[in-house]
Each structure stands twice: as structure tokens, then as C-alpha cells.
Amino acid sequence: MTPGPTPGPLPGPTPGLRIRGLVKSFGGRRVLDEVDLVVERGEVVSLLGPNGAGKTTLVSVVAGLLRPDAGSVSVLGTDVVRAPRAARGRIGLAAQDVAVYPTHTVEENLRFFGALAGLRRGELRTSVDTLLETLDLTPLRRRRARELSGGQQRRLHVGCALVHRPRLILLDEPTAGADPQTRRGLLRQVRALADDGGTVLYTTHYLQEVEELDARVVVLGDGRVREDAGVDQLIARYTRSELVLRFSGEAPELPWPGARVAGDTVFLPTDRPGVDLVKAVELTGQDRERLRAVELSRAGLEAAYLELLGAGRDE
């Protein structure tokens, strides 16, 4: 359970999660429309999408809380619809809203869910102790959940989903409202779970987390998988880094493909910042005297994501 080098996904005949042709409608509205997704063991897949894209519905169907209208979901080869009980023991769910018992202590909460999953005596004690340590909750083990801070409750919430050592971990915006320290701890825990061979499906609106997790990104839109790629691939596909040249006074027009001028600044798209930097400065010619600053604006996941969503709207 300790963080270590990222071994990456473990492709094999039985993926951690396989979704085929998943369809789910509510009141005639198709929330999930023929969704296909395979997540290998040891892989973190980050599920992105605007509100209402179907992320939580997808997680609920995978967890067995909602029955799909069509399609199949299998967890480590076990069909969630046909053999829900067999699949359930392998799934840990931390939904958006904190779900703990306020009148029970931290330890009692963890022990309860561990016992329900079939852990007994020594096995249960070891699992609870390990989680308390990992989630930095050991000093609070005898404190009632209602007395915890929001961040501590959220850690306990995630702990309750992990206490039975599930092989598929479904985390639906687990860091929503969490402080930076809690968020960092949870991300470290998620990465460790994947490194330990677990399969993680992680929904979030915090794109920085996705980059930190180095997760594979699956973007849902209108109930469909709109994009499925690594962070770097997504950035390369939808955005480019830019050289930003700032001048004293009005910025000159430069003969550069895709260049744009805004007041005293010129933005020059680039795939090779090091090479293009020299070239761009040379191109300024007589205006070089007025050149105040040159910066590199690196493309990020957020820009790529917004571009992708924008492209979706334009279609």
C-alpha cells in the first residue's frame, strides 16, 4: 500500500473493468449511450465530463446500484448484473457525498464495513490498522465521525470504501471540498492502490489531479465516450504550447502560422519551443528594440479539455 514506482497497467486476458455497449436511460433520456470502456488492472482511469455527462450514472451502474438497460459490465471477469454479489465483494465505492456513521467512531466505521465484506478478527484488525495509518487517522481512531473535520471525514469515507481491499475502486469526486493536504494524501493513496494492482476509476473536476495521477483520461459527453487517451496525448491532440512575446506599445504582426495579436502581446503556437524561440525573436526584426519579454505558455490538460468540450459543442 505504500507509494512506489509506477509499474503501469497490467494488460491480460481479464481486465479489471470491462464495459460493453452500456445503455442507461432515465425518463426517455439516454444518460449512457453505448459506452465501451476497458480498464486494465493497475491502471487509473480518470473519468471527465461536464455536469450531467453521465459520470455518476456510469459509476453507479458499475457498482451495481443501477441496472443497465443494455450492455454488460464485468469486474475482473465477473458480470455485475448476472452475479452481483460475487462482483460486489471486489468493488469499493466512495461516492460524491460523504457516507459515514456520525455516532460511531472512526474505527467502528471501518470495522463495520470490513466485517460486512467478510473480514474477521486478525484480518479485519490488520486491514483497519493499515488504513488508519495510511489515511493518517490513527490518532483519531476512537473519535466519533461527527467530531471530525470535513477533510478527516472525507478520508474516513474513502477508507470505508477500501477497508475490504477491493480490486476495483470507484472514486466519484473523492476530493470534492477537501483541503490541499487531504487531497494530496488521497491522491497518494489512489496511486498506491493502482501500483498494488488495483483498478481505479476516478471521476473529478480537478484536472490537476488527473495530471498528478498520470491517469488515462476518458471524457464523457452526452452519454458517450468522446475521448480516451493519455494526458500527454490529449494535450498534444487538442492544444499547443505558445511563445508569448510582449512589446512596448502595439505588438507587430509576425509571419507565423496561427499567430494572434492582442494589444502589446503576440501569441505564437509552437511544438518545439526551444527552436522556435530563436526563430521568433529573429522575426521581430526592427521591433526587437521594443521587445520587453518572451515567455513560454505550456499547454495543459485544462486547455485541452476545454478545447475538446468546445469542439463537441461545435459539432
Q: What residues make contact with another protein under the rule CB under 8 A?
A: 63-67, 85, 88-89, 91-93, 95, 97-104, 108, 112-113, 115-118, 160-161, 164
Q: How far is the CB of 63 from another protein (least distance, A)?
A: 5
Pairing of strands 168-172, 91-94: parallel
Going by the DSSP 8-state scheme, the letter that residue 252 receives in this structure is: P
Please state, in angstroms and rounded to a whole number, the distance separating the CA atoms of residues 71 and 60: 14
Shortest distance (Å) from residue 157 CB to another protein: 9
Contact 256, 279 (CB under 8 A): no
Please say whether the beta carbons of 206 and 48 come within 8 A.
no
Considering the complex, state which of residue 153 and residue 284 has its C-beta at the smaller distance from another protein.
153
Nearest residue (CB) to another protein, 101 versus 267 = 101
Q: Taking the CA of residue 168 as centre, how many other CA atoms within 13 Å lie in the half-sphere pointing to its CB?
A: 27
Report, in Å, the least distance between residue 186 CB and another protein: 17
Q: Compute the least distance from the CB of residue 42 to another protein, in Å.
A: 22
Q: Report the residue number, 89 or 197, with the smaller CB distance to another protein.
A: 89
In the numeric block, which cell numbers belong to residue 45? 482511469
Between the alpha carbon of residue 118 and those of residues 66, 114, 171, the distances in Å are 23, 7, 22
Phi and psi at 260, nearest 5°, equal -140, 145
Q: What is the chain's Cα-based Rg?
A: 24
Query: Smallest distance from the beta carbon of 80 to another protein, in angstroms?
Result: 11
Closest CB 104 distance from another protein, rounded Å: 7
C-beta of 116 vs 275, nearer to another protein: 116
C-alpha cell recorded at residue 85: 454479489
- 3-state DSSP: the chain helix, strand, coil percent, rounded to 5? 40, 30, 35
Return the number of the residue (60 or 204) whose C-beta is nearest another protein.
60
CB nearer to another protein: pick between 38 and 86: 86
